[in-house]
A and B are shown apart, each in its own frame.
Chain A
Amino acid sequence: DQQVKQNSPSLSVQEGRISILNCDYTNSMFDYFLWYKKYPAEGPTFLISISSIKDKNEDGRFTVFLNKSAKHLSLHIVPSQPGDSAVYFCAASAIVNYGGSQGNLIFGKGTKLSVKP
Chain B
Amino acid sequence: DTAVSQTPKYLVTQMGNDKSIKCEQNLGHDTMYWYKQDSKKFLKIMFSYNNKELIINETVPNRFSPKSPDKAHLNLHINSLELGDSAVYFCASSQEVRWDEQFFGPGTRLTVL
Looking at the assembled complex, report how far the CB atom of B45 sits from the nearest CB atom of chain A, in whole angstroms: 6
Complex CA distance for A27 and B106, rounded to whole angstroms: 30
How many A-B pairs have beta carbons closer than 8 Å: the answer is 54
A93 touches B99 (CB 8 A): yes
Residue of B58, B96, B99, B101 with highest tally of chain A CB at under 10 A: B99
Given A41-B107, A43-B104, A46-B102, A97–B41 Cβ distance below 8 Å? no
Complex CA distance for A89 and B43, rounded to whole angstroms: 9
The residues of A that contact B55 with a CB separation of less than 8 Å are 98
Looking at the assembled complex, report how far the CB atom of B47 sits from the nearest CB atom of chain A, in whole angstroms: 11
- B91-113 interface bits toward A, Cβ cutoff 8 Å, 1 = contact, 0 = none: 11000111111111111000000
B contacts, CB < 8 Å to A: 4, 40-45, 48, 55-56, 58, 90-92, 96-107
A46 touches B44 (CB 8 A): no
A contacts, CB < 8 Å to B: 32, 34, 41-46, 49, 89, 91, 93, 96-98, 104-105, 107, 109-110
The residues of A that contact B105 with a CB separation of less than 8 Å are 43
Closest to B96 in A: A97
Complex CA distance for A32 and B106, rounded to whole angstroms: 25
Closest to B41 in A: A109
Given A43-B4, A43-B105, A107–B100 Cβ distance below 8 Å? no
A43 touches B99 (CB 8 A): no
A43 touches B92 (CB 8 A): yes
Looking at the assembled complex, report how far the CB atom of B98 sits from the nearest CB atom of chain A, in whole angstroms: 5
A46 touches B101 (CB 8 A): yes
Complex CA distance for A44 and B88, rounded to whole angstroms: 12
The residues of B that contact A97 with a CB separation of less than 8 Å are 96-99
The residues of B that contact A104 with a CB separation of less than 8 Å are 45, 56, 58
Closest to A4 in B: B42
The residues of B that contact A110 with a CB separation of less than 8 Å are 41
A98 touches B48 (CB 8 A): yes
B42 touches A109 (CB 8 A): yes
Complex CA distance for A41 and B48, rounded to whole angstroms: 23
Complex CA distance for A73 and B106, rounded to whole angstroms: 27
Complex CA distance for A34 and B101, rounded to whole angstroms: 11
